[in-house]
Structure 1
Amino acid sequence: MIAEDSVLLRVGLVKIVELAGFEVAAEASNAQELLTAVEQHHPDLAVIDVRMPPAFTDEGVRAALTIRTTHPSTALLLLSQYVEERYATDLLATNTSGVGYLLKQRVADVEEFIEALRRVANGGTALDPQVVAQLLVRRPSPPLDRLTTREREVLTLMAEGRSNAGIATQLVVSESAVAKHINSILAKLDLPKADADHRRVLAVLHHLGVGTR
């Protein structure tokens, strides 16, 4: 499912995801069309604009939260023009499995966008780096001060939803080095160890204040 009111962006998204091997079951230009189409097609993944007609406020987010309740197996990737931390918080408050929140500018990097799309479709998390940076700034705390510069880099990529392999590729280090950094981060932040990537992300986001207000 592609839900976007801008015709040009919607057509572009359809082309991008189809070239990557996804099948687009339906398109929507507003939240009601999106909800109707989800009921009809039961998609594996929905890409949703945060602001849609008629008011262009939070229609996409509210529709996503409805889908999360009525069709929990549908993965959700929200696209926003600007960093709107509250919307990301609402979406991630209880579960980070199969959820993504990216700025629209990320679509321009097609390879990175498709990688995030596949991660979300497979039950992972994709959180925009600018949102993560804002959470880190908003939640200054002594435990974060314990981290080294490299550990902060790893923490940021963890919060974005990247796997150990993805972090290793991004930082050009070995996976074993990443694992050591993560063990150190979890210990310094007093976070429980977790095997599943989305559980690990949930723990990190909890520490940063998401879903704890």
Structure 2
Amino acid sequence: MRIVVAEDSVLLAEGLTRILRAAGHDVTATVTDAGELRRVVSDETDLVVTDVRMPPGHGDDGLRAALEIRSRRTGLPVLVLSQYVASAYARELLDSGGAVGYLLKERVGRVTDFLRAIDTVADGGVIVDPEVIGTMLRPSVLDRLTPRETDVLRAMSEGCANAEIASRLSVSDAAVAKHVANIFAKLDLPPQEGNRRVRAILTYLAEH
């Protein structure tokens, strides 16, 4: 199986490559940012393994690239790896159809389980990390947010002003302002609510 690996951690990328090659797969490329991922995937690629968060934006760039590639190559198997549970990302991936997987990176250390996930996704199946499933089944007000709005709220929780968020996510200040307004609306924080930014951040931190 010809596999493209997208992971900006050099050590993890090397580990993934060794595991896959030892299992008899052909890792045709390893890339470190979402732009490279878009360029190297070809008609001969059988499966993509990608991190959610990657350069250049360090947001959901890896996932966005994978979904864009799948829009061009319908049904291309994609296994997404994430450092943390993010049910919004998982939902978006699952909504794109079959032959997808979402695993926490800690599962990669369980080589047998990881390789089984690779085979399942390659065969057109769907696999989701048990911890992610548990989170998806718990209703949360944050589930109302899109992945991009979640990125904005995360940056807000880290003390970033709108201009800093725009730079980090490679979007305009106006786009960030729109995302922030959507966040307030979806978290039921009306204009008369005192210090909506702080309230939104506290809501985010309460679940992370």
TM-score band, normalised by shorter chain: 0.5 to 0.7
In the TM superposition, 1:46-85 aligns within 5 A as 46-85=48-87
> Residue 88 of structure 1 corresponds to which residue in structure 2?
90
Mapped contact 2:67–2:96 kept (Cα < 8 A): no
Measure the CA separation in 2 of the matches of 1:14 and 1:65.
22
| TM-score, reference length from structure 2 | 0.63
Secondary structure at 1:106's aligned position in 2?
helix
1:73: how far off?
A: 3.9
Measure the CA separation in 2 of the matches of 1:78 and 1:25.
17
Mapped contact 2:6–2:51 kept (Cα < 8 A): yes
Residue type at the aligned position of 2:84: Y
- 1:41-61, Cα deviation, whole Å (9 max, x unpaired): 631100001000122111011
- Dislocated runs of 4+, deviation >6 Å: none
Q: 1:31 aligns with which of 34, 37, 45?
A: 34
| TM-score, reference length from structure 1 | 0.62
Q: What residue ranges of structure 1 are gaps of 5+ in the alignment? A: 140-213
RMSD: 1.3
Seq. identity, %: 47
Residue 17 (1) aligns with residue 27 (2): no
> Residue 42 of structure 1 corresponds to which residue in structure 2?
44
1:30: how far off?
A: 0.4
Residue type at the aligned position of 2:134: A
Mapped contact 1:98–1:121 kept (Cα < 8 A): yes
Measure the CA separation in 1 of the matches of 2:96 and 2:105.
24
Residue type at the aligned position of 1:6: S
Q: What residue ranges of structure 2 are gaps of 5+ in the alignment? A: 141-208
